Chain A
């Protein structure tokens, strides 16, 4: 089963590297490129660079707190 583990690990690192390079290009490099360059077509407008991570972070936090609350309620109901 170690091949499955290595595949998952490779997939995770590939995803994280691609997200990092895309985000770095988006925020750090794109403002210094003239607006006529073709590369601008592959990137959304810059407001989304803030909205998407904030939205994902809020979604993650609410999911985590809902999960914690659900587990706490279930354990309390079982012990009562």
Chain B
């Protein structure tokens, strides 16, 4: 099934759940739109927070970076000796 159909099915399920909650008076009627928008805004906020926390806790591995640069220099030397054009130096 195409991915967009799955997304639309998820949206329909969520709105059906919300309308079901309204009909059985778990949620008061006059606050329909306000609570729905509040939930959507808080979901967006949560996503943004997770992105920010992931950025802050990202591991950088400085030793691996040094080793990688050494590997790149070694590979460039090897290829230049074999006659391959290695571009900017």
Contact = CB atoms under 8 A, between A and B. Distances in A.
The size class of the interface chain A forms with chain B is 20 to 34
11 contacts: A9-B56, A10-B52, A12-B55, A15-B52, A16-B46, A19-B41, A19-B45, A20-B41, A23-B38, A50-B34, A50-B37
Given A5-B58, A50-B33, A50-B34, A23 B52 contact: no
Shortest 3 CB-CB contacts between residues of A and residues of B: A9-B55, A13-B52, A12-B52
A9 B42 contact: no
Interface in A25-54: 27-28, 49-50, 53-54
Nearest to A20: B45
A2 B41 CA distance: 30
Interface of A is mostly: helix
B52 A9 contact: yes
Contact of A10 (B34, B45, B56): B56
A5 B33 contact: no
Contacts of A57: 40
A16 B48 contact: yes
Given A2-B58, A5-B58, A27-B38, A11 B33 contact: no
Nearest to B35: A27
Interface string B46-78: 101101111111101000000000000000000
